[in-house]
Amino acid sequence: MPRKPPSPHDALVKEGFSVPEHAAAELKAVLPAALAESIEWATLRIESGSFVDKALEQSHSDLLYSVRLQNEQALLYVLFEHMSETDARLPLRVLRYQLRILERWARQHSDTPLPLPPVIAVVLHHSESGWRGATDLHSLFGELPQRIPAIKPYLPQCQFLLDDISRLSDDQLLARAMGAIPTLVLVALRDSRSGDKILRTLVNFAEQVRQLATEPLGPDALTTLYCYISGVTECSPEAVGQTFIEIEPATESYVMTAAQILEQRGFDKGIVQGKAEGVALGKAEVLERLLTRRFGPLSAETREQLHKATAAELELWTDRVLFADSLDAVFVGAK
C-alpha cells in the first residue's frame, strides 16, 4: 500500500522542530527545570528512524533526539500528538515506543549493551477541549493500584511529559521566550481551527512575524506557516498572505513564493472540506467497531446516532469506550 501524505499538522511540526535549536527551545519550556539544567543543549541532535506503527503513522509525528546529559549519553524521545481527540491509551503506546527505541539501541551497541540510555517522552497536544486523558500507565489499570498498593511494583510504569497548548494564553507562550519560529508554530497549531482567530493572533505576535523577514530560516518558516494556515482554516490564502504583508511589508516576496508553492500543490478548499468530512466518517466507523466488540451488535438507532454525531461527540464517546461498563454509560448525557 502506498504511503499516504502526512497531515498538515505533522508537516508543520516536523518543519518547525527538525531544527535542533527550535526543538531545544520547546523542550526547555516543558522539561522540569532541574532536568533541563542537566542537559548539554549544544549536543542536541536529531536521530533517524521512526518508531510509530504503520497503522498510526498518519496520525502522529515522532521526532527522536539524542543529547548529552551531564557527560552521559541520553535519548529524548519526543512524540508530538496532533489528534483532535484525547487518546485514552496513549501511555501504553508511549511505553511501546520507548521499548522499541531501547531495543534498537541495544542492538546497535551489542558490545556494551548496558547501561541503557534514559528515554524521555514529551507529548505536544492541541485541541479545542484540551487533553483529558492520563499521562501515566498506572492510571490505565483503574482503581486496582490504589486499592492494592502492594501490586504497584509489579505493574509496568510509563509517564510522559504533557505540553497541552490548547489553553495557553498569548502571554504564556511569549513568556517561554522560544524565538520567533517555534513560537509561531505553536500559535498556528493552537489557533488555526478558526481562520478569523489565527489572523487576529498573528497580529498579536507581530514582533515574531517581523523577525521572520530577518532570520536565515524565516522564508522557509513563513512558507510553511502560510501553507498550513491556508490548508486547515476556512480563510482564503489571499487573506493569510495579506495579513503577513500588513504586519511586515518585507515578507511580501516570501508570501508570493508561498502562494506559488500552494498553487503547485493543487490547493482546493473543496478538497480540504471533503477530507475533513471523510475523517469524521472514519471516526464514526471506528467507534462503531469498538462499541460492537465491547458491547455486542448495535441497534440501527445507535448506528444512526454515531453517523449523525458531531466531531466533539465522537471524541467524547471514544474516550469513554475504554472505561464504560455499558453502552448507556458511553452515551450518557447524549441528546
Question: pLDDT tens across 20-49, in order?
Answer: 999 999 999 999 999 999 898 998 888 765
Of 80, 109, 73, nearest to 97 by C-alpha is 80
Average pLDDT, the chain: 80
Most confidently predicted of 67-71, 118-122, 149-153, 218-222: 149-153
Which stretch of 73-77, 299-303, 304-308 has the lowest confidence by average pLDDT? Answer: 73-77
pTM here?
0.71
DSSP bridge pairs for 47: 64
In three-state secondary structure terms, 63 is strand
Selection from 279, 190, 188 nearest residue 231 by Cα: 188
Does position 335 have pLDDT exceeding 60, yes or no?
no
The Cα 119–Cα 138 span in angstroms is 18
d(CA 113, CA 106): 5
Containing 222, the helix (H) or strand (E) segment is helix 218-232
Find out whether 157 and 136 touch, Cβ atoms under 8 Å.
yes
Q: Is the pLDDT reported for residue 277 higher than 50?
A: no
Q: Where are the domains of the chain?
A: 8-167, 190-267, 278-330
For residue 295, pLDDT over 70 is answered with yes
- Say which range, 76-85, 155-164, 219-228, 317-326, has the weakest mean pLDDT: 76-85
